[in-house]
Chain A
Amino acid sequence: MKIKELEKLKNEGTVNLPSRERRTFLKMGFLITGVYLGGKILSLTSVSKAFASGSVPHKKEYPYAPHYSMVIRESRCIDCELCKEACVETNQVPSYGSRTDVLERRRPIEYDAYETIFMPILCNHCNRPPCVRVCPTTATWKDEKTGIVMMNRSRCIGCKTCMTACPYNARYFKEEGRYVDKCDFCLESRLSKGETETACSAACPADVRIFGDLADESSRVFKLLHTPETIVWVLRPETGALPNVYYTNA
């Protein structure tokens, strides 16, 4: 129909519309609403399966053997930075980058004073690593056996997307090889050579970093995370990355 002819037509109203047209319209409306609602309900139910009560995974749900993780007793850290020195020496970390760092924050306490809290950070070897998800060349992956997020430097093209994706700023670009480097729980430098501890964990004089196998119920990391009346937290849980490095005040 031409526009001129359309303009001349009178509005006939809905009274004379055949009910079949109305029915089709209603059916389409219900279909769209139904699909939308169904999707909403489905998205709510899937959350309950994942590490539901708090950040610590449930017993007998450890997919890795050994399930390497680290517990950091934050209240004992005094920023002596012996862990950083040990890491740099063991893993040849250049001065412009860091595999592990110690952050600092102040918290107001009584009598107008402030309390300083030091927080060591490192790669969390997440259970849902955003860095692995975004790597275009599979240069980084989560090891099936140990759960460590590994790095194959020869496959890395230096696009730095993983550095952007990491919620914890745990990665740095190593100029000397043109690849992105990060903590590997000293797998290459120590664990593969028979050591049982990471360099930073061994160097700490204040017993802040405890490294071990979470799947082993007699290990210290397991005990620390499962002691009653202790508070355990992870960094940035809202990212959904499910980190494997836990912080506690015990």
Chain B
Amino acid sequence: MKNSLVLTIFSIFLLTTVYVFASETDKAEEYDEDTYGPEAPVIWQSPVKGVIFYHKIHTMENELDCDSCHDDVFEMESGAAEEQEDFTMEAMYEGKYCGVCHDGDMAFASDKRCTLCHIGVRGVERLSAKESAEEGKGH
């Protein structure tokens, strides 16, 4: 009688431990880069420094698929937009690049909420400091 009780309690303890460990590894795999694009933010430094773009906000939170922008609006290539001569706010007001959706109707206009994307030199420095701190600690 006593032995079976001890056995039951021990097995419950064992199962809970296994469950806890299993769920910990699950969280790290929630963001799938193949479906949602790179998790790390895109940082543009030209023509002005300190501009940021998060794929997560557009693909995961607002449920856009890759075709909405790639490859008509933006090339799926790191640094490609910065090489374009006309990657400017003027172009966005005319409906190019981000201006395709950020026109005031589909999403907020390109001449509003500037500092959401223009996090500035300070913002980028903070981001890279945070990243290197996290790398140092290790996941």
Q: Which residues of A pack against B, CB within 8 Å?
A: 75-76, 78-82, 102, 104, 115-118, 205
Q: Are A102 and B48 in contact (CB under 8 A)?
A: no
Known A-B contacts A115-B115, A117-B115; the reply to A82 vs B120 at CB < 8 A is no
The answer to whether B79 has its CB under 8 Å from any CB of chain A is no
The answer to whether B55 has its CB under 8 Å from any CB of chain A is no
Known A-B contacts A80-B120, A81-B120; the reply to A116 vs B115 at CB < 8 A is yes
The answer to whether B129 has its CB under 8 Å from any CB of chain A is no
In the complex the two chains form, what is the Cα distance from A51 to B91 in whole Å?
43
| A-B pairs with beta carbons under 8 Å apart, 5 shown | A75-B114, A79-B120, A81-B120, A104-B120, A205-B47
Q: Which residues, 19 to 59 on B, are CB-close (under 8 Å) to A?
A: 47-50
Q: Are A205 and B123 in contact (CB under 8 A)?
A: no
Q: Are A78 and B122 in contact (CB under 8 A)?
A: no
The smallest beta-carbon distance between A162 and chain B, in angstroms, is 27
Q: Are A79 and B47 in contact (CB under 8 A)?
A: no
Partner of B120, one of A76, A78, A115, A205: A78
Q: Are A79 and B114 in contact (CB under 8 A)?
A: no
Q: Are A82 and B48 in contact (CB under 8 A)?
A: yes
Size range of the interface on B?
A: 10 to 19
The smallest beta-carbon distance between B56 and chain A, in angstroms, is 16
In the complex the two chains form, what is the Cα distance from A102 to B50 in whole Å?
13
Partner of B114, one of A76, A82, A102, A104: A76
Partner of A81, one of B49, B113, B114, B119: B49
The answer to whether B118 has its CB under 8 Å from any CB of chain A is yes
The answer to whether B121 has its CB under 8 Å from any CB of chain A is yes
Count contacts between A and B, CB distance < 8 Å.
44
In the complex the two chains form, what is the Cα distance from A205 to B122 in whole Å?
18
Partner of B50, one of A76, A78, A205: A78
The smallest beta-carbon distance between A147 and chain B, in angstroms, is 31
The smallest beta-carbon distance between A194 and chain B, in angstroms, is 28
Q: Are B122 and A102 in contact (CB under 8 A)?
A: yes
Q: Are B48 and A118 in contact (CB under 8 A)?
A: no
Q: Are A78 and B114 in contact (CB under 8 A)?
A: yes
The smallest beta-carbon distance between A10 and chain B, in angstroms, is 81
Partner of A116, one of B48, B49, B121, B123: B123
Q: Which residues, 117 to 132 on B, are CB-close (under 8 Å) to A?
A: 118-123
Q: What residues of chain A lie closer than 8 Å to B50, measured between beta carbons?
A: 78-81
Bitwise, B40-84 to A at CB < 8 A (1) or not (0) is: 000000011110000000000000000000000000000000000
Known A-B contacts A205-B47, A205-B48; the reply to A80 vs B121 at CB < 8 A is yes
Q: What residues of chain A lie closer than 8 Å to B47, measured between beta carbons?
A: 205
Q: Are B120 and A102 in contact (CB under 8 A)?
A: yes
Q: What residues of chain B lie closer than 8 Å to A76, measured between beta carbons?
A: 114
Q: Which residue of A lies closest to B113 (CB)?
A: A115
Known: A78-B118, A79-B50, A116-B120. 18 other contacts (CB 8 A): A75-B114, A76-B114, A78-B114, A79-B118, A79-B119, A79-B122, A79-B123, A80-B121, A102-B120, A102-B121, A102-B122, A104-B120, A104-B123, A115-B113, A115-B115, A116-B119, A118-B115, A205-B47
Q: Which residue of B lies closest to A116 (CB)?
A: B115
Q: What residues of chain B lie closer than 8 Å to A81, measured between beta carbons?
A: 49-50, 120-121
Q: What residues of chain B lie closer than 8 Å to A116, measured between beta carbons?
A: 115-116, 119-120, 123
